[in-house]
Chain A
Amino acid sequence: MSRIIMLPILLPLCTAVVMIFFRRLVVLHRFLNVAGTALMLGVSLVMLGNVQSGGILSLQIGGWQAPFGISLVADMLSSIMVVATALIGFTTALYSLGTIDKDKEHFFYHPLLQLLLMGINGAFLTGDIFNLYVWFEVMLISSFVLLVLGGKPEQLEGAMKYVTLNLLSSSIFLAAVGILYGIAGTLNMADLAVRIPMLGHKDLLSVVAVLFMITFGIKAAIFPLFFWLPASYHTPPVAVSAIFAGLLTKVGVYAIMRMFTTVLIHEEAALIHQLLLVLSAFTMVVGVLGAVAQYDMRKLLSFHIISQIGYMIFALAIQSPLAIAGALFYIVHNIVAKTNLFYISGLVNRLKGSWDLRRIGGVYRFYPMLGVLFLVPALGLAGIPPLSGFWAKFVVIKAGIDSEHYLLVGIALFVSMLTLYSMIKIWNEAFWKDDPRGEGSVEDEGYLLISSMKKVAMVVPIVILGSVTVVFGFWFEPFFVIVQSAAVELLDQGNYIQAVLGERP
């Protein structure tokens, strides 16, 4: 039963290897990409079902007993994140069919996407900190190549910033892992959770905690560490931007969540949570102010990622079961809505030929349905009921009020106003106002030249993710029950430890 944990990692690896062997058969690449991610979605849903009914699954790779070998662990948190990854992987694979050109496909676009998904799933499922580092690198290397695929000047320039800062974060991660091993003598997360409270001297632990916070903070784009994100996310093809926007920063948030609720849970974690509370306020405000100033659709959306990370970090830092459940729901809702907005921005760009909001307009007039499809994730992100963002924000803010962080709650509400403002800005500029280049220019932008198959491939992912946002909104309770049980499970390390290490005195 627990072998199912390997599948979300093995599936993309196998499809990627097959694709690389048949590198000239691009049609096969496309098929395998869609089929592989669809299968991954199925497998991850089965895994979530198993974990929900049967408790935490764990698998010792190579048969080495827990603290000595590498463990893969699927608890509720990991399973939910894997499901979200598979969903985004599937829709991005579909969307890529309509947007990625042949040149990129010949240069291993599809296998790279699979390897990226493998890295992300591995990071979610591993139970070992050094292994987490390795999965981070797998994910990073794939993302580096995806980012520069095409080799346009702005892509290379953006990639320089992205690569440099991420390598810096990796080396900090490595140093932190080394020190932690030196203190505790183990890197298995469950084993660490057992041993750290029993350590004699804890002086270095706060150093380790801060180092981990910096590396994961860079990955998650928290306030003073986010500068690589708006400098690079708007440069690659929009399908790549979308999957990065949806998933990569959330891996950082997941790592913070895992590290400071499962592994380091003592005085160090309290210090980190204080720090995160302050940083979350800055992250929310600075991100949204950056977004408000932008006129490039993708840059605007990139800054929004940062602002939304602030909410997740805020909820994480409160640490009550309700807040963790809220953070988790927020992550899932945000992954879906944010990726969807990037898809739509790509479609608008295809219709109008520009990313600049000042140069385009009139989309609603000719494509009213696209306007509706845009409003679903946009208003969802801003938190208008009954869409998913309303519930996500509602839970986070309720948790904030319960724990008496009134100032931060005020900031969070203020920031959602600005979020709404910047979403309405896209609506007004791209959809509502007349095209500044006059009428008639609408139909001649090359959209009609796209084959109808490609149009379907671009619209279907938007419809899928939009309906997920709506379903989250209208049938909130069953989903909230799932994230709540995940939060309860996460805050009680006993189950996790027992599932990994087995029965122990």
Chain B
Amino acid sequence: MTFLLAVIIGVLYAAGTYLILRRSMVKVIFGLIFLGHAANLMIFTVGRLTKGAPAFVPEGMEGFTEPFADPLPQALILTAIVIGFGVQAFTIVLFKRTYQTVGTEDLDKMKSTDQLPGEEL
């Protein structure tokens, strides 16, 4: 299971990196989403995968005697997913507005904020 997840994380990172380097805005959004998911899965995997173990101390006992699951990575991921979801929704709206206002979705053509003003003055 850990191996499988490690492969998936690797693929997501590779695909995400490839996509954010593309010139099309839509692909960049997908790239960012992939990278977000990859990071979430990474927390999940690095935080140790445990199967069928309890996460809370059973009632009437002082502590664990057997192996137990750590619930914190899941809590972290949950927070990260919620934040990521909000930010991605914002990004999609922003990109759409930019496309409508600037009139292109080719990122190479969006360089007016970086250019030195030329001789047109």
- Chain A residues in the interface with B (C-beta under 8 A): 130, 133-134, 137, 140-141, 144-145, 148, 151, 153-154, 156-161, 163-164, 167-168, 170-172, 174-175, 177-179, 181-182, 185, 227, 230-232, 234-235, 293-296, 356, 358-359
Contact = CB atoms under 8 A, between A and B. Distances in A.
Nearest to A172: B39
Contact of A178 (B42, B94, B116, B117): B42
Shortest beta-carbon contacts, A-B, top 3: A182-B46, A178-B43, A174-B39
6 contacts: A141-B86, A172-B39, A174-B43, A177-B43, A231-B114, A295-B116
B20 A181 contact: no
A294 B116 contact: yes
Contact of B32 (A164, A179, A230): A164
A294 B46 CA distance: 47
B90 A141 contact: yes
Nearest to B35: A171
A231 B114 CA distance: 5
B15 to A, nearest CB: 13
B79 A148 contact: no
B97 A130 contact: no
Nearest to A175: B39
Contact of B35 (A133, A137, A168, A293): A168
B76 interface: yes
Interface string B89-121: 011001101100110000100101110110001
A164 B83 CA distance: 15
B110 to A, nearest CB: 5
A356 B116 contact: no
A171 B32 contact: yes
B117 A356 contact: yes
Contacts of A137: 83, 87
Given A164-B28, A178-B39, A181-B72, A157 B110 contact: yes
Given A134-B79, A141-B86, A154-B113, A175 B42 contact: yes
A134 B42 contact: no
Contacts of A171: 32, 35-36, 38-39
Contacts of B102: 153, 156-157
A151 B97 contact: yes
A145 B93 CA distance: 11
Contacts of B35: 167-168, 171
Contacts of B121: 356, 358-359
Contacts of B79: 130, 134
Interface of B: 20, 25, 28, 32, 35-36, 38-40, 42-44, 46-48, 70, 72-73, 76, 79-80, 83, 86-87, 90-91, 94-95, 97-98, 101-102, 107, 110, 112-114, 116-117, 121
Contact of B101 (A134, A153, A163): A153
A164 B87 CA distance: 11
Contact of B98 (A133, A160, A175, A358): A160
Contacts of B36: 167, 171, 174
B94 A168 contact: no
Contacts of B91: 163-164, 167
A119 to B, nearest CB: 12
A156 B47 contact: no
A16 to B, nearest CB: 16
Nearest to B110: A157
B40 A158 contact: no
A178 B47 contact: yes
A156 B93 CA distance: 11
- Most B CB atoms within 10 A — which of A133, A156, A231, A295? A156
Contacts of B116: 293-295
B21 to A, nearest CB: 11
A168 B20 CA distance: 9
B110 A148 contact: no
B32 A168 contact: yes
Given A157-B102, A167-B32, A231-B114, A179 B94 contact: no
Contacts of B95: 160
A160 B94 contact: yes
A179 B39 CA distance: 10
Contacts of A182: 43, 46-48
Nearest to A181: B47
A256 to B, nearest CB: 20
Nearest to A68: B72
A170 B91 CA distance: 14
Contact of B94 (A154, A159, A231): A159
Contacts of A160: 25, 94-95, 98, 107, 110
Contacts of A157: 98, 102, 110, 112-113
A461 B94 CA distance: 32
Given A134-B79, A144-B94, A179 B42 contact: yes
B94 A156 contact: yes
Contacts of B70: 185
A1 to B, nearest CB: 30
